[in-house]
Structure 1
């Protein structure tokens, strides 16, 4: 695929056909993704290709509760687990719960995570991350810059193979259990779980905000940067 077309059409895919993904195809995807940038080229990632049905089923079961909580917080008008949320408001929303959230979690990816053709658990090695914002009095982001480009490269390389996929961080809410399940020890931490497969419907066109909505000149309150024919 053309690079620009790939970048503009790689959306999140959560519905897959039953067609399996050959190990050789996955190997090509990972062989390409490994060229993703990372701080000091440390490549501070470890990847587990989860094939065992028992392990897959356990991950599915762990996934469900955080997903219910995510849907519940969303229904309450909160951005789930935002670093600036009022903890009391979150606790109240979760205590109230919603039947709709429970019902929604009984379908879709949350209910069928164990059935996706490829299930990858991505771990980050904290000892290899240069988290330059570690000592700031705010939520730390910088360390992820050495791991998530690799995850995105997996999705792009999969797209080039005719596959689709989704990166989910939901299981981080159950990190200790996932680490025990997959044999991961400190300083490894769970960064994401990636599902891949042949999509039921391949995304051809994505909807995003135009460049002028997020880019300004010189200052955040500066003039919008020209967006051209963005769509």
Structure 2
């Protein structure tokens, strides 16, 4: 078990959850069809509101449409990231210290966006709306994406859920012939990791759990031995 987690996990699910990282660097090799099948099957098992099963996944690997979609997402990501770099302080304060976590994060994002046109697989999870847009509609599609990432981890692959498509949604909708009334919920990039999965760092469990009333953490909200932490981010400085 990762981090010496002292708990029963006969199916390996808890370990997979604790070690599925957001993977943004990929080897230059395709994702085999059988891997895509297994990953998408796991995604299709996710719950949805009233069990409508009204989410779909557009999977793009190679060919002209895939190349065009990747270029559109890359251009949109560059536009959005340029703004975020400035507004979230990546170009000032600790962001200009090459050794700071913030600077490392910025370099990672720069590399990711630079390589978006050549990601092995691009997946657009979509939701077929049955009513006017609501704040809760993502609950019928995002659980499928977590299933997808866990399944990718199980097959030795990895990915990350992003929203970079939002600056090119109209062009993508036209390119991929997405009908009216269908919501593109996210952009998922997928491939064989150039790095590795491993223990995910978050804040301590007690930070997230309250016992009955707001602000009171229960005595049982303790982390497994060996758990390592990170602060929430990014900060503005």
Q: TM-score band (shorter)?
A: 0.7 to 0.9
Cα deviation 1:159-185 (Å, max 9, x = unaligned): 100111111111023211111110101
SS at match of 1:15: coil
How many residues are treated as equivalent by the alignment?
Answer: 199
Question: TM-score scaled to structure 2, two decimals?
Answer: 0.74
Deviating beyond 6 angstroms after TM superposition, the runs of 4 or more aligned structure 1 residues are 103-106
Provide the C-alpha distance between the structure 2 equivalents of 1:53 and 1:225, rounded to a whole number of angstroms: 53
Could you say if the C-alpha distance between residues 71 and 5 of structure 1 is closer, same or farther in structure 2, counting changes exceeding 3 Å? farther
* Residue 76 (structure 1) aligned to one of 87, 91, 99: 87
Deviation at 1:74, TM superposition (A): 4.3
Contact 1:60 1:110 in 2 (8 A): no
SS at match of 1:205: coil
Provide the C-alpha distance between the structure 1 equivalents of 2:216 and 2:125, rounded to a whole number of angstroms: 40
1:45 paired residue number: 55
SS at match of 1:127: coil
Provide the C-alpha distance between the structure 2 equivalents of 1:128 and 1:7, rounded to a whole number of angstroms: 33
* Residue 21 (structure 1) aligned to one of 20, 23, 31: 31
Deviation at 1:71, TM superposition (A): 4.2
Contact 2:23 2:158 in 1 (8 A): yes
Deviation at 1:104, TM superposition (A): 6.6
Provide the C-alpha distance between the structure 2 equivalents of 1:58 and 1:193, rounded to a whole number of angstroms: 14
SS at match of 1:177: helix
Provide the C-alpha distance between the structure 2 equivalents of 1:71 and 1:145, rounded to a whole number of angstroms: 29
1:151 paired residue number: 145
Provide the C-alpha distance between the structure 2 equivalents of 1:11 and 1:104, rounded to a whole number of angstroms: 17
Contact 2:57 2:123 in 1 (8 A): yes
Cα deviation 1:103-161 (Å, max 9, x = unaligned): 979952322223222211111111179x7xx4xxxxx2x11111000111111111100
2:216 paired residue number: 223
Task: Flag structure 1 segments of 5+ consecutive residues without an equivalent.
Answer: 79-99, 135-139
Could you say if the C-alpha distance between residues 62 and 24 of structure 1 is closer, same or farther in structure 2, counting changes exceeding 3 Å? same
Provide the C-alpha distance between the structure 1 equivalents of 2:26 and 2:108, rounded to a whole number of angstroms: 17
Could you say if the C-alpha distance between residues 106 and 56 of structure 1 is closer, same or farther in structure 2, counting changes exceeding 3 Å? farther
2:13 paired residue number: 3
Could you say if the C-alpha distance between residues 178 and 215 of structure 1 is closer, same or farther in structure 2, counting changes exceeding 3 Å? same
Could you say if the C-alpha distance between residues 218 and 167 of structure 1 is closer, same or farther in structure 2, counting changes exceeding 3 Å? same
Provide the C-alpha distance between the structure 1 equivalents of 2:108 and 2:208, rounded to a whole number of angstroms: 33
Contact 1:164 1:198 in 2 (8 A): yes
* Residue 188 (structure 1) aligned to one of 151, 168, 182: 182
